[in-house]
Amino acid sequence: MNTDFSKAMLIAGCASLVLAFSSSAADGQPTVPLALKLPLHTLKGTPQDLPKGPNVEPLSDTAPTPLQVPKDVKNVAAGKTVTSSVDPFQGELKQLTDGNKEPVDDDAVEFKKGTQWVQVDLGEPFAIYAIAMWHDHRYVQAIRDVILQVSDDPEFKTGVTTLYNNDTDNTSGLGVGTDREYFEMEYGRVVPAKGIKARYVRGYSRGSNQSALNCWQEIEVYALPAK
């Protein structure tokens, strides 16, 4: 009886391995965990009055499980041109794609209050698999109305795909989001994109639970050349 049971388990295990291999290799894109160069953790401590509720992810100091992405993806946003809805009053737009995202004032680009956006022009369409963003992890805080979109239209009037939206009350007027707010940490927020093809990446925000001002530190876009 025990021998038969062991054989059955062995067969089931082998079948699972075959299925897993077939799944990862079906489109010819073997995947690997996305490796990010993470900045340091903030030294400013954790506030006691953090927001709570069903639309807010609990604070965690554990690194999230990395996304699986094709092994040859690269950060195609590095050094690319950045534009914005308003000019920053601190820092320069080019800092959003310079690779520097430590929790210090020199790596923060700040904008006035209200719903504002920043946009990266990748120069040509890419097959995007993951977008990592750091708004402002100098402080443990929840950024409001984090909306991430991609398009081939620089005006974002046509062909717009929303990849992330935690504006659950549609305050920013871009549609009701179903994603949850999260706390800014050194891990940033990595959003899956499933190989969608686009040239432009736009990220919105509307202050945070600590400040009405907007801030960005870095956007990284992991992609392959579009076929």
**pLDDT tier for residue 28 given thresholds of 50, 70 and 90:** low
**pLDDT tier for residue 219 given thresholds of 50, 70 and 90:** very high
Residue 105 pLDDT exceeds 90: yes
Residue 49: predicted pLDDT: 87
**pLDDT tier for residue 3 given thresholds of 50, 70 and 90:** very low
What's the mean pLDDT when you consider all of the chain?
90
Residue 213 pLDDT exceeds 80: yes
Residue 7: predicted pLDDT: 42
Residue 140 pLDDT exceeds 80: yes
State the residue for tokens 């909306």.
147
% the chain with pLDDT above 90: 82
Residue 156: predicted pLDDT: 98
Strand partners, 85: none
pTM: 0.87
Q: Are 97 and 219 in contact (CB under 8 A)?
A: yes
> Would you give the distance in Å from CA 106 to the centre of its chain?
22
Q: Pick the closest to residue 88 from 65, 105, 66 (CA basis).
A: 105
**pLDDT tier for residue 29 given thresholds of 50, 70 and 90:** confident
Residue 23 pLDDT exceeds 90: no
Q: Are 213 and 151 in contact (CB under 8 A)?
A: no
Residue 61: predicted pLDDT: 87
Residue 203 pLDDT exceeds 90: yes
For the segment 152-169, the average pLDDT, to the nearest whole number, is 98
Residue 1 pLDDT exceeds 60: no
Cα–Cα distance for residue pair 188/137, rounded to 1 Å: 8
Residue 79: predicted pLDDT: 98
Higher pLDDT, 49 or 193: 193
For the segment 19-37, the average pLDDT, to the nearest whole number, is 67
